Chains A and B, each alone.
Chain A
Amino acid sequence: MTILAPSVLDPEPLDTAAIRADFPILSRTVRDGRPLVYLDSGATAQRPRQVLDAERAFLEQHNAAVHRGAHQLAEEATDAYESARARIATFVGADPYEVVFTKNATEGINLVAYAFSNASIRTALGPESARFALGPGDEIVVTELEHHANLVPWQELCRRTGAVLRWYGVTDDGRLDLDSLELSRRTKVVAFAHQSNVLGTVLPVAELVSRARAVGALTVLDACQSVPHQQVNLTASGVDFAAFSGHKMLGPSGVGVLWGRGELLAAMPPFLTGGSMIELVRMEGTTYAPPPQRFEAGVPMTSQAVGLGAAVDYLNGIGMDAVAAHERALTAAALDGLRSVPGVRLVGPADLESRGGAVSFVVDGVHAHDVGQVLDDRGLAVRVGHHCAWPLHRRFGVAATVRATFAVYNTPEEVAALVDGVHAAREFFGVS
């Protein structure tokens, strides 16, 4: 059986050398002059000159506090900020007013959780917010493969409201076990990753949405590991909320997106409050601005939003289908290569079906930290540890894994260097 999907057999569509030339950091050396092999884009991606230049140009020419002031710079800054919002919205198949800028995906998910929390305290809020209220007897459902960012906020929301957390399990081959849980009318929220940051598994979004809808539950998608790597249309996905981070998609850190269906955002109470999220303020009380401003209290990150707009332009210039095909080929090569190393156990789906480019593994007899150290000494940057998915690692009976993740600038040669490095680690620790 071949694990190669047809698209992998297509001729290499990307000029990787030209793409790499856009990323200044990729030409540096590490650990005594070794070329950097960066395989940790799942943690944070590197940024092309186009993103760095856009931030600098904004700061040198247009910087001002957005949505305040009537001077020329304020106008230009607001235009740049809102233009970025519009382009990012288009990139994920959304309307601009449904796109809320947050610090990152973690803040986006917390925003939803705290808005629900606020709605659960049924005092002086309009009846429209009642649909977000939770209490004892209600359930929040997540999955066992979640990043802590899509787990801990829900645990905390349960603690505050008395709701109960339940979760879908994971099968031995790293797929979601859809038979492990039945939703019920008590289920109010179903939160899940689009793509596992450890296993690479792409979750069955349509099926989960359909199950959630059948019981009237709202869905929250952690899209951190999907939006940077494949064409994602949030509106068409059927989910109600989604969050992703700029720094994982060639953009700046300090900016992310919470997307929500317009009618839901319009009914949802705010999380952070203060300047610019208001409609009318009196000493006695305040009414809220419509979304997205309702959820953007304070002077927001601005050059970062502009930079994320530039990142989206950059990805569009390549084409997300080409990005996905490129990363798929690298993933196939990594799975094949690592499988050929004795003592390597992949943690995650062995084939490319519904699978993205996060490849995690353990090496029998060599701790993940030690594998990572040998790789680091050879110039390879990978992630070691539990990758903020500790329960998932516990599920697979391992304390830590080695994880390689790919982006548009990675090459087959770098995948080969990874496989060589794992061989070297086994040799060094005497298990070969």
Chain B
Amino acid sequence: MYQEIILDHYRSPHGAGLREPFDAESFQINPTCGDEITLRVALDGDTVSDVSHETLGCSISQASASVLTDLVVGRSVADSLTVLAAFQEMAQGRGQVEPDEDVLGDGVAFAGVARYPARVKCALLGWMAFKDAVSRGVTAGDAGSGSTARENA
């Protein structure tokens, strides 16, 4: 499960530390273990221009949030959600889903996590925060309010 790529991201996580400016923020917790993440998304039109996060969690959740940052920043919102769907499918696939490296990049390293059902939530924590934040950001942008969504505990 602990691929070297995962350990690398864990030791030096990308996107770590909350940054300004941002369009939406999501706070997610894993109720079974108490791990938490605060994740911010900045949008430039239809593009995810920045992701930053503060993660209190295990190596899997921290590395996953780091890989997420690499995979979605610079993509369109629609593309980022396609990556999210692929990651989620792999993580919840009980080891039966063959991941597509073209879509998931370093994310394929998490295929092993799928064989440990108790850890799947760890791998998905950041992605769920991203999904929540990006939908808030898009909604706020559509409304033209530019307001900041906060906390979804």
Q: Which A positions have Cβ atoms within 8 angstroms of B?
A: 367-370, 373, 384-386, 390, 393, 399-400, 428-430
Expressed in whole angstroms, the Cα–Cα distance for A428 and B122 within the complex equals 19
Quick check: which of B28-36, B41-49, B78-86, B133-141 contacts chain A, the rest being far away? B28-36
User: In the assembled complex, which residues on chain A have CB atoms less than 8 Å from the CB atom of B11?
Assistant: 430
Q: Are B116 and A400 neighbours in the complex by a CB distance under 8 Å?
A: no
Q: Which residues of B contact A369 (CB under 8 A)?
A: 33, 35, 57-60, 119, 122
Contact partners of B33 in chain A: CB under 8 A: 368-369, 384-386, 399-400
Known: A385-B34, A400-B35. 13 other contacts (CB 8 A): A369-B33, A369-B57, A370-B58, A373-B2, A384-B33, A386-B34, A390-B34, A393-B34, A399-B34, A399-B36, A399-B56, A428-B2, A429-B7
Residues of B within 8 A of A399 (CB): 33-36, 56-57
Q: B residues within 8 Å of A by Cβ?
A: 1-2, 7, 11, 32-36, 56-60, 116, 119, 122
* A373 engages B34 (CB within 8 Å): no
A-B pairs with lowest CB-CB distance, top 3: A369-B58, A367-B58, A385-B33
Q: Which residue on chain B has the smallest CB distance to residue A377?
A: B1
Q: List 22 A-B contacts (CB under 8 A).
A: A367-B57, A368-B33, A368-B58, A369-B33, A369-B58, A369-B59, A369-B119, A370-B59, A373-B1, A373-B116, A384-B33, A385-B33, A385-B34, A386-B33, A386-B34, A399-B33, A399-B35, A399-B36, A399-B56, A400-B33, A428-B2, A429-B7
Residue of B nearest to A388 (CB): B32
CB distance from A370 to the nearest CB of B (A): 5
Instruction: For the complex, give the distance between the alpha carbons of A386 and B34 in Å.
Output: 7
Cα–Cα distance between A384 and B1 once the two chains are bound (Å)? 17
The distance from the CB of B64 to the nearest CB of chain A, in whole angstroms, is 12
A429 touches B59 (CB 8 A): yes
**Alpha-carbon distance between A367 and B56 when the two chains are bound, in angstroms:** 9
Q: Which residues of B contact A386 (CB under 8 A)?
A: 33-34
What's the least CB distance linking A139 to chain B, in Å? 28
**What B residues does A429 contact at CB under 8 A?**
7, 59
Please, how many angstroms separate the alpha-carbon atoms of A393 and B58 in the complex? 16
| CB-CB nearest in chain B for A428 | B2
Q: Tell me the bound Cα distance from A370 to B60 in angstroms.
A: 8
Once the chains are docked, how many angstroms separate the CA of A24 from the CA of B2? 32
A400–B11 Cα distance when bound, in Å, is: 19
**For the complex, what is the distance from the CA of A400 to the CA of B31, rounded to whole Å?**
11
Note all chain A residues with C-beta closer than 8 A to B1.
Answer: 373
Nearest chain-A residue to B56 (Cβ)?
A399
Closest chain A residue, CB of each to CB of B62: A367
What is the distance, in angstroms, from B52's C-beta to the closest C-beta of chain A? 20
* Bound-complex Cα distance A429 to B60 (A): 12
Q: In this complex, what residue of A is CB-closest to B57?
A: A367
- Given the interface pairs A367-B57, A370-B58, A428-B2, the reply to whether A400 lies near B119 with Cβ below 8 Å is no
- Other-chain contact of B119, A373, A393, A430 (Cβ < 8 Å): A373
Q: How far is the CA of A320 from the CA of B20 in the complex (A)?
A: 61
A428 to B116, CA, bound (A): 19
A367 and B34 form a contact (CB under 8 A)? no
Assembly CA distance A373 to B122 (angstroms): 12
Which residues of chain A are within 8 angstroms of B7 by Cβ–Cβ distance? 429
A429 to B35, CA, bound (A): 19
Give chain A residues whose Cβ lies under 8 Å from the Cβ of B60.
369-370
Cα A400 to Cα B59 with chains together (Å)? 13
User: With A and B bound together, what is the CA distance between A301 and B7 in angstroms?
Assistant: 48
- Shortest distance from the beta carbon of A317 to any chain B beta carbon, whole Å: 35
Q: How far is the CA of A400 from the CA of B1 in the complex (A)?
A: 21
A399 to B54, CA, bound (A): 14
Chain A residues with CB under 8 A of B119: 369, 373
| Closest beta carbon of chain A to B57's beta carbon, Å | 7
Residue of A nearest to B30 (CB): A385
Q: Tell which of B32, B56, B59, B116 touches A385, judged by Cβ atoms closer than 8 Å.
A: B32
Chain A's nearest CB lies how many Å from the CB of B123? 11
Which residues of A lie under 8 Å from residue B57 when comparing CB positions? 367, 369, 399
Q: State whether A400 touches B34 (Cβ < 8 A).
A: yes
A399 to B61, CA, bound (A): 13
Closest CB of chain B to A33's CB: distance in Å?
16
